[in-house]
């Protein structure tokens, strides 16, 4: 069995303003820092065999706070959020005004549309899937903390529950909170969510 704790990083100023924040390397803000301190207390008695993050500062800092800098982090490029390309740092209203054709195309074909200078959802999904399947093979009988992004958590959840890509939208994960999954071979049970 694999005990998987997935945590969404602490809040950032981009998140607070409702801006698209994929590969932009934003830091957690004071609220995000406090969220991570609270979560550290919640997970105090859990002994993690591995702590894994993406390469972005907001996940690394969140993992460092939660682990109290006592654990060596495994940092993986493939666990970054989707790359929003030219839309990074913008809210959806501004995107709709400045890039109306691109926005309309994304609305029609959100899974296959490749955001200029960014990536498509299909590319993002395939990247996370490949990485996560590889991780699963190396985590048997371990307790793992994965500190990552909401999009990544949604993809992983659909994979573990054998759902379609489109079911991605059925999940929401809160900043600085964890969800707990138990994985027995090909069967997953969600034990806790947004704690």
Span 77-100, pLDDT tens digits: 999 999 999 999 999 999 999 999
Q: Where are the domains of the chain?
A: 2-84+119-192
pLDDT confidence tier of residue 140, bands split at 50, 70 and 90? very high
The dihedral over CA atoms of 66, 145, 177, 78, expressed in degrees to the nearest 10, equals: 110
* Cα torsion angle, 172, 174, 179, 185, sign: positive
Q: What is the pLDDT of residue 190?
A: 97
Q: What is the pLDDT of residue 94?
A: 96
Mean pLDDT of the chain: 96
pTM of the model: 0.95
Fold of 2-84+119-192: Rossmann fold (3.40.50)
pLDDT confidence tier of residue 109, bands split at 50, 70 and 90? very high
Helix (H) or strand (E) holding 7: strand 2-8
pLDDT at 148 over 90: yes
Q: What is the pLDDT of residue 91?
A: 95
pLDDT at 38 over 90: yes
Instruction: Please give the share of the chain, as a percent, with pLDDT higher than 70.
Output: 100
Question: How far is it, in rounded angstroms, from Cα 67 to Cα 43?
Answer: 9
């Amino acid at each position: 069995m694999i005990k998987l704790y997935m945590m969404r990083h602490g809040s950032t100023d981009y998140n607070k303003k409702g801006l698209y924040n994929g590969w932009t390397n934003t830091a957690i803000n004071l609220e995000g820092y406090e969220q991570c301190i609270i979560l550290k207390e919640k997970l105090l008695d859990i002994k993690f065999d591995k702590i894994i993050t993406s390469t972005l500062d907001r996940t690394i800092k969140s993992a460092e706070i939660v682990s109290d800098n006592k654990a060596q982090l495994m940092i993986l490029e493939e666990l970054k959020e989707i790359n929003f390309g030219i839309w990074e740092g913008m809210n959806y209203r501004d995107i709709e005004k400045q890039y109306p054709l691109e926005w309309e195309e994304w609305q029609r074909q959100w899974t296959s549309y490749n955001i200029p200078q960014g990536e498509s959802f299909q590319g993002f999904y395939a990247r996370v899937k490949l990485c996560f399947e590889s991780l699963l093979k190396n985590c048997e009988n371990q307790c793992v903390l994965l500190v990552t992004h909401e999009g990544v958590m949604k993809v992983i959840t659909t994979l573990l529950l054998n759902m379609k890509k489109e079911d991605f939208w059925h999940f929401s994960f809160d900043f600085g909170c964890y969800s707990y999954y138990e994985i027995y071979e090909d069967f997953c049970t969600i034990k806790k969510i947004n704690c």
